[in-house]
Chains A and B, each alone.
Chain A
Amino acid sequence: MKIVSISIKNISLLVLFAGLLLVSCRDKESPPPSPSINKYDTISNFQGLLVPTNGKLKVKVSYVFGNNPVELNTQFYNTIGGDTFTISLIRHYFSNLTLIGEEKSINLGNYQLINAAEEPGKSFEISGVQAGVYNQLSLVIGVDSVRNSSGLQEGALDPAYGMFWTWATGYIFFKLEGRTTQNQTFGLHVGSNTIIPINTASLSQFKIKSTSPTLTIAIDLKEMLEGPYNYSLPKDGHNIHSPSDPSNNLILNNMKDMIKVISIEG
């Protein structure tokens, strides 16, 4: 009996000692967790897109012409400039996708070549999106002047994609091609080292918290031909194939208000 009680005492002492040891060890290895684990988890009153931890953004692109969805080759579209046409090709760059918040904005760089005729070419993913609340998005429909004027690049900016002027400076930002009701083809290829079409879109109409949100962006081609300059194919040219064509700048100046975020899914 006596022996047993001693051994129990010993055991409990041992356990206590071991426990103390463990605690002290843990104290050394990791400091007590800070009271606020992630401040974005505690914010309930936010507008826009909340990314709680490093996340991944998926962007889907769709095309509209004013209020109508764009269907290649079949649908006719009218402009204030007086043209009626079908659209056969839409290819363009997206770059410098930037998420803008009240505390910070992050430029995700990200050069993408978008081809309206290919489903896989109409969406892309960007990882490494920092935690934050974002209520605005901006992007360049085209390529910034740094990348546009220096060196050759692989990936989406590979000149083999044919979105590159080898006898002038830089990239073709946007190719819009089609056929008018007068059965005349047109090809508007525009790009510039000085006029960079930066587009911004609001996110504050949404309230989405997600580490992997999917944004759907609508691009309005009507803006390209109507706002502020009303482009006319017979007057301003059915074809633009050089950045020094004066009509090139008319279109590029129109390309600053083309995007709208139509949905965010968490």
Chain B
Amino acid sequence: MKNSVVVILFLSLLVSYSACKKEPVETKEDNYAYDPTPFDLKLPTNLGWTSFPIPSDNPLTNAGVSLGRKLFYDQILSSNGTQSCATCHQQAFGFTDPNQFSLGALGQVGERHSMPLFNLAWAEKYNLSGHRFFWDGGANDLERQALGPIINPIEMSNPSLVPVLERLQEHSEYPKLFNKAFGSDSITSVKLAKALAQFERTLISSNSPWDKAERRQRLRTQSEINGMQIFVSEEKGDCFHCHGNLSSPFFTDYLFHNNGLDANPKDPGLFRITGNPADFGKFKTSSLRNLAFTAPYMHDGRFKTIMEVIEFYNSGAKISQTLDPNIAKHQKEGGLNLTPQEKMDLHNFLLSLSDSSFISNPQFSKP
């Protein structure tokens, strides 16, 4: 009797010991098991925000978004391990580069200013032209866009995607993370692009003072209100034709225009992609959100301040064949002819579109 009690006690101890010992091993394996749990995408609720299309073959999942975020910040993607996406797309600057031209992995100087990254996914809804991303529309979805800089000779400068995929495949953790996100540890260019695109789709900026005023959480200053009226007035600022009316919270039409920077553009812009002479010198409309962080401005970063941009539209646009008609029509009077006070009001309205919570959101920072 005594003996059997001892035996039972011993056995139960053994069982509980082995259970304890087994548990952490199991959870570690489980950490990398395929996990299609959907990502809880919190879309803004102000008037005008809508949902955006998500490709049916690349739904947002927690594992996919977190893998994309890790990849976005990992220098493993560049040919010599010196650059990540975040090198030229820094969160503190609205995911652009404060330098006019970014340097490539081997020190090459680029020809266009790095683009800010936020509210990108709506381009796939509002631009149906097939030319959506990059300054010149060279990619038509976020998946394809994500691969461009990796093999661009003046950016991450990999000779092809093959060595990048090999480095990821040989990495101690990436095959497991790809398995978790996509159900297979074999890393392909498609899965790489999908993960990066998933993270990019989550970069939503919707909490500027303008948004707070829309949600009745603050009052607009009188100068902001004046600036807003200039923004929507066809006679005054006439900004809304390209940057959206006030019922659209994106402040871009996601399309391409020649805004009159040069009479003879050096950079052909959208023409490089379409080959259509009517597209010469057209570039993607930037969003007016987060201007406080995303200087310098324009595709070539030629303007250092918001006021320089306002001055340009006020009197500096150059006439050419493909100049946007909404800018051309003001050239008869030599530009917009805003008063100094009107320029200041427009400036204050534009600043109210900058979302400081976006550039400090820990969800988007280096993991």
Is A152's CB within 8 Å of the partner chain B? yes
Which of chain B's residues have a CB closer than 8 A to the CB of A168? 138, 272-273
Residue tally, chain B, CB below 8 Å to A:
30
B-contact 0/1 string along A157-188, CB 8 Å cutoff: 01110101111110000000000000000000
B-contact 0/1 string along A230-266, CB 8 Å cutoff: 0000000000001110100100000000000000000
Is A153's CB within 8 Å of the partner chain B? yes
Given contact pairs A151-B141, A166-B151, A158 touches B189 in the complex (Cβ within 8 A): yes
Q: Which residue of A lies closest to B55 (CB)?
A: A151
Q: Which residue of A lies closest to B56 (CB)?
A: A151
B-contact 0/1 string along A219-230, CB 8 Å cutoff: 000000000000
Inter-chain CA distance A168–B274, complex, in Å, is: 9
Are A169 and B141 neighbours in the complex by a CB distance under 8 Å?
no
Are B130 and A160 neighbours in the complex by a CB distance under 8 Å?
no
Are B161 and A152 neighbours in the complex by a CB distance under 8 Å?
no
B-contact 0/1 string along A10-22, CB 8 Å cutoff: 0000000000000
Query: CB within 8 A of B190: which of A150, A154, A165?
Result: A154
Chain B binding site: helix, strand, loop or mixed by DSSP? helix
Which of chain A's residues have a CB closer than 8 A to the CB of B122? none
Is B359's CB within 8 Å of the partner chain A? no
Is B76's CB within 8 Å of the partner chain A? no
Which of chain A's residues have a CB closer than 8 A to the CB of B150? 166
Are B147 and A166 neighbours in the complex by a CB distance under 8 Å?
yes
Which of chain A's residues have a CB closer than 8 A to the CB of B140? 149-150, 169
Q: Which residue of B lies closest to A157 (CB)?
A: B190
Is B73's CB within 8 Å of the partner chain A? no
A-contact 0/1 string along B131-173, CB 8 Å cutoff: 1001000111101100110111000000011100100000000
**8 A Cβ contacts from B85-106 to A:** none
Is A193's CB within 8 Å of the partner chain B? yes
Are A244 and B189 neighbours in the complex by a CB distance under 8 Å?
no
Query: CB within 8 A of B152: which of A150, A160, A167?
Result: A167
Q: Which residue of A lies closest to B161 (CB)?
A: A160
Are B193 and A152 neighbours in the complex by a CB distance under 8 Å?
yes
Inter-chain CA distance A89–B315, complex, in Å, is: 54
Which of chain B's residues have a CB closer than 8 A to the CB of A169? 130-131, 138-140, 273
Q: What are 13 sample pairs from A and B whose C-beta atoms fall under 8 A apart? A: A150-B141, A151-B144, A152-B141, A153-B190, A158-B189, A159-B161, A160-B162, A160-B165, A160-B188, A162-B161, A165-B138, A166-B138, A244-B271
Using CB atoms and an 8 Å cutoff, list the residues of chain B in contact with chain A: 55, 57, 130-131, 134, 138-141, 143-144, 147-148, 150-152, 160-162, 165, 188-190, 193-194, 271-275
A-B pairs, top 9 by smallest CB distance, nearest first, are: A166-B148, A244-B275, A160-B189, A160-B161, A166-B147, A152-B190, A167-B138, A159-B189, A152-B143
